[in-house]
């Protein structure tokens, strides 16, 4: 039979490829908007494993009719009555059936004992176990069933036991034919109709058993159900009404009431062509449904990608702001005010007295050179410390604020809250950050000294540097770095001006004014590069955390491509 369909092999390969892509796809975030897609992905994978791939690889396997329906509809009683003996437990306690029973003809056993279909369920054979085992399917062989067809008694679709509901849906998705059991009391329930709508959408072959109908209302209920089925696009589905009767001594439905159903099943099983039609109808429907279902997955992938992208954007923006804050703090000259300035003024002692004689820079220079050469204070440590503290504080505070800001914004985003719960450390700067900053600032001071000694190329300059000490000159350069671009305003000259102008004049006297400008620019660039690297490494922690919930960029495209291959092979 399969020989006249040479495309099956290609199709199977394409479907297997599609399955692998779906299995590899990730929706790592628990977003409300993609919760349904996540569940459907599971269902899709299961249907591919349980049904589509096995059916494609062995198109001649027996037809599997799954008996599904509401709790209390009498599924087990129906199965037992068809087989003429109790293979599935019956009773008034709902839900009665919790682990499925698969009934097949002895000749067909080999189709079901291996994991060809329903690979996730373990096989159990033999007598009815006293208690149900989860995740198993019990295999029962029966002569009352013709070869070529198997029945699967599924758990209910709507009881309080949620495991049953999930399993029933999985089993129905693995069926070639749904034998849907409902009752006179239930036939308008919402839950079964949701499933029937799905069956209709996917073109699944369906037969309806209308069970437990009080004989007096048969004439009213049956036409109503048929009408509802027609409205749902299931007008071709056969309906088998079974009246509410007293069961016989074994608890089975009298033969007369189920004769029609039984003979329909027997005919279907023995007619290979009819069986093939049913199998192909459901298979084609399942393959066609892949379109919509993979589209949902694609949309969900994109949504998650976008959400993750938003998180990254928050990080980028916040840390960009932090970097800008640091840079601004360094270049607007005000870093020199407050602490640094106070120390410097104490140190150099600029005051009214000296302002009066400021015109004669030489005298100041003398005084300063005394200071720097004098063994008492070779390095203006107070200024140095204040400067170091100021710069370190500027970087730390900006980075810390950025971390707190990111955490706060993230908490408002569904995905962000989830990541923060996993990585609580992200709400702060990393613990070693202050030490890193201190180290970086010290290294930068080293950079500045290197700059001074490399600039002091010729002997004359070197001699002048020696007059102030290399540390002293470096100190001047650092001071100039924080004021050079500022262009001090009139009001500020009074306070900061004395300082910076003084330092700058000393430097200009040593190196020449163009060189001072270049050196200051270089020193500043070096400091900004170091602080940027620090901030960058802080921001990277978020990227790493995001990475754990990252959706591969090409996931959506891969899904689409794999699906295209399947559709091309159909």
Partner 1 sequence: MSVFKMGRGGSAPSVTAESLRAHATALTDALEAGGAQLPAPEVERARAVLEKVTERGRHTGAHTVVAFAGATGSGKSSLFNAVVGGAVATTGARRPTTATPTAAVWGPEPAGELLDWLQVGSRHQVTTERGTPLDGLVLLDLPDFDSRESANRAEAERVLSFVDVFVWVTDPQKYADARLHDDYVAAMRHYDAVTIVVLNQADRLTTAQLGECSADLRRLLLRDGLTSADVIATSARTGLGVPQLRARLGEAVAGATAARMRLDADVRTAADGLRRGVADQEVDLGNASSEALVDALGRACGVPAVVDAVANDYRRSAIAAGGWPFTRWIVRLKPNPLGRLRLDAPAPSIDADVRRAVGRSSLPQATPAARAAVDLAARRLADTASEGLPRLWAEAVAAAALPPQERLADELDQAIVRTSLQRREPVWWSVVKTLQWVAALTALVGLAWTLTQLLLGPGGLIQLPSVYVGPVSLSLVLLIGGLLAGWLLALLSRWVASVGARRRGLATKRRLHAAVGSVADALILGPVTDVLSRHRRTRTQLDAARR
Site residues (CB under 8 A) for partner 1? 70-73, 92-95, 158-162, 165, 183-191, 193, 212, 214, 217, 220-221, 224, 325, 328-330, 332, 334-342, 346, 351-353, 390-391, 393-394, 396-398, 400-401, 404, 408, 411-412, 417, 427, 495
Q: Is 86 exposed, middle or buried (0-12, 13-18, 19+ CB in 10 A)?
A: middle
Tell me how far, at minimum, the Cβ of 331 lies from partner 1, in Å.
Answer: 10
Q: Is residue 68 within 8 Å of 170, Cβ to Cβ?
A: no
CA dist., res. 111 & res. 314, Å (int): 55
* DSSP string computed for 196-252: HHHHHHHT-EEEEEEEEE-GGGHHHHHHHHHHHHHHTT-TTS-EEEEE-----TTS-
Provide the minimum distance between the beta carbon of 143 and partner 1 in the complex, in angstroms, as a whole number.
Answer: 32
Would you put residue 389 in left (φ > 0), alpha (ψ -120 to 50) or beta? alpha
Least spacing, CB of residue 114 vs partner 1, in Å: 34
Q: Which one, 215 or 457, has the nearer CB to partner 1?
A: 215
Q: Pick the closer one to partner 1 by CB: 347 or 476.
A: 347
Shortest Å, Cβ 356 to partner 1: 8
Structure tokens at 499: 């300082």
Residue 474: both structure tokens together: 């470096």
CA distance 433 to 224: 74
Q: How far is the CB of 221 from partner 1 (least distance, A)?
A: 5
* φ, ψ of residue 206 in degrees (nearest 5): -130, 140
The Cα–Cα gap between 44 and 53 comes to 12
Q: Which lies closer to partner 1 via its Cβ, residue 350 or residue 504?
A: 350
Contact yes or no for 42/25 (Cβ under 8 A): no
User: Whole-angstrom Cα distance, residue 313 to residue 97?
Assistant: 52
Closer CB to partner 1, 127 or 190, in the complex: 190
Helix (H) / strand (E) element for 63: namely strand 63-69
**Dist CA 254 CA 264 (whole Å):** 17
- Cβ-based neighbours of 399, under 8 Å, separated by 6 or more: 319, 322, 429, 433, 437, 534, 535, 538
| CB-side neighbour CA atoms (13 Å) of 359 | 2
Write down the least CB distance from residue 95 to partner 1, Å. 6
Q: What is the DSSP letter of 48?
A: I
Q: Which of 118, 2, 114 is nearest to 50 (CA)?
A: 118
Select 134 or 338, whichever has its Cβ closest to partner 1: 338
CA 182 to chain CA mean position, Å = 39
* Closest separation in Å from C-beta 396 to partner 1: 8
- Between 372 and 410, whose beta carbon lies closer to partner 1? 410
Beta strands in 280-434, from DSSP E residues, in sequence order: none
Q: Which lies closer to partner 1 via its Cβ, residue 158 or residue 176?
A: 158
Residue 141 or 331 with smaller CB distance to partner 1: 331
Q: Which residue lies nearer to partner 1 by CB, 221 or 520?
A: 221
| Closest approach of partner 1 to the CB of residue 416, in Å | 11
Of 23 and 160, which has the nearer Cβ to partner 1?
A: 160
Q: Judge whether 138 and 100 are in contact, CB under 8 Å.
A: yes
Residue whose C-alpha is closest to residue 499's, from 331, 326, 351: 351
Between 393 and 560, CB nearer to partner 1: 393
Q: At closest approach, how far in Å is the CB of 308 from partner 1? A: 20
Residue 29 CB, nearest approach to partner 1 (Å): 18
Least distance in angstroms from the C-beta of 389 to partner 1: 8
């Amino acid at each position: 039979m399969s020989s006249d369909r040479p495309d099956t092999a290609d199709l199977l390969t394409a479907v297997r490829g599609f399955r692998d892509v779906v299995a590899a796809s990730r929706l790592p975030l628990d977003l409300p908007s993609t919760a349904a897609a996540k569940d459907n992905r599971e269902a899709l994978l299961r249907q591919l494993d349980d049904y589509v791939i096995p059916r494609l690889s062995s198109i001649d396997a027996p037809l599997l009719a799954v008996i599904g329906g509401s709790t209390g509809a009498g599924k087990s009683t129906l199965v037992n009555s068809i087989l003429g003996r109790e293979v599935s437990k019956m009773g008034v306690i709902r839900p009665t059936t919790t682990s499925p029973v698969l009934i097949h003809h002895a000749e067909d056993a080999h189709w079901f004992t291996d994991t060809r279909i329903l690979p996730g369920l373990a096989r159990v054979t033999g007598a009815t176990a006293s208690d149900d085992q989860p995740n198993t399917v019990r295999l029962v062989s029966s002569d009352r069933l013709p070869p070529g067809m198997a029945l699967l008694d599924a758990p209910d679709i709507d009881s309080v036991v949620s495991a049953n509901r999930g399993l029933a849906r999985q089993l129905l998705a693995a069926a070639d034919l749904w034998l849907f059991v409902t009752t006179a009391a239930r036939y308008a329930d919402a839950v079964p109709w949701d499933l029937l709508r799905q069956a209709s959408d996917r073109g699944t072959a369906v037969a309806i058993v209308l069970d437990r109908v009080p004989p007096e209302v048969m004439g009213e209920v049956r036409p109503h159900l048929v009408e509802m089925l027609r409205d749902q696009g299931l007008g071709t589905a056969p309906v088998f009404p079974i009246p509410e009767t007293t069961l016989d001594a074994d608890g089975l439905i009298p033969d007369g009431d189920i004769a029609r159903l039984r003979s329909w099943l027997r005919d279907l099983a023995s007619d290979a062509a009819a069986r093939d039609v049913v199998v192909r109808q459901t298979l084609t429907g399942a393959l066609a449904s892949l379109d919509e279902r993979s589209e949902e997955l694609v949309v969900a992938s994109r949504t998650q990608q976008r959400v993750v992208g938003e998180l990254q954007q928050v990080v980028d923006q916040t840390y960009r702001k932090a970097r800008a804050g640091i840079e601004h703090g360094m270049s607007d000259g005000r870093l020199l005010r407050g602490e640094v300035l106070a120390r410097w003024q104490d140190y150099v002692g600029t005051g009214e007295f000296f302002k009066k004689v400021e015109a004669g820079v030489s005298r100041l220079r003398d005084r300063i050179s005394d200071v720097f050469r004098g063994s008492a204070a070779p390095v203006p440590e107070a200024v140095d410390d204040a400067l170091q503290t100021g710069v370190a504080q500027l970087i730390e505070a900006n980075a810390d604020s950025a971390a707190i800001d990111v955490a706060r914004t993230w908490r408002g985003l569904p995905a962000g809250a989830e990541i923060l719960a996993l990585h609580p450390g992200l709400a702060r700067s990393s613990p070693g950050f202050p030490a890193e900053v201190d180290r970086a600032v010290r290294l930068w001071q080293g950079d500045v000294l290197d700059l001074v000694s490399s600039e002091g190329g010729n002997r004359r300059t070197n001699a002048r540097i020696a007059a102030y000490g290399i540390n002293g000159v470096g100190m001047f350069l650092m001071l100039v770095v924080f004021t050079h671009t500022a262009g001090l305003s009139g009001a500020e000259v009074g306070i900061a001006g004395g300082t910076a102008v003084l330092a700058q004049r000393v430097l200009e006297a040593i190196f020449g004014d163009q060189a001072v400008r270049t050196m200051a620019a270089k020193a500043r660039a070096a400091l900004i590069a170091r602080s940027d690297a620090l901030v960058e490494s802080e921001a990277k922690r978020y990227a790493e955390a995001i990475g754990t919930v990252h959706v591969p960029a090409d996931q959506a495209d891969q899904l689409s491509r794999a699906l295209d291959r399947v559709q091309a092979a159909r």
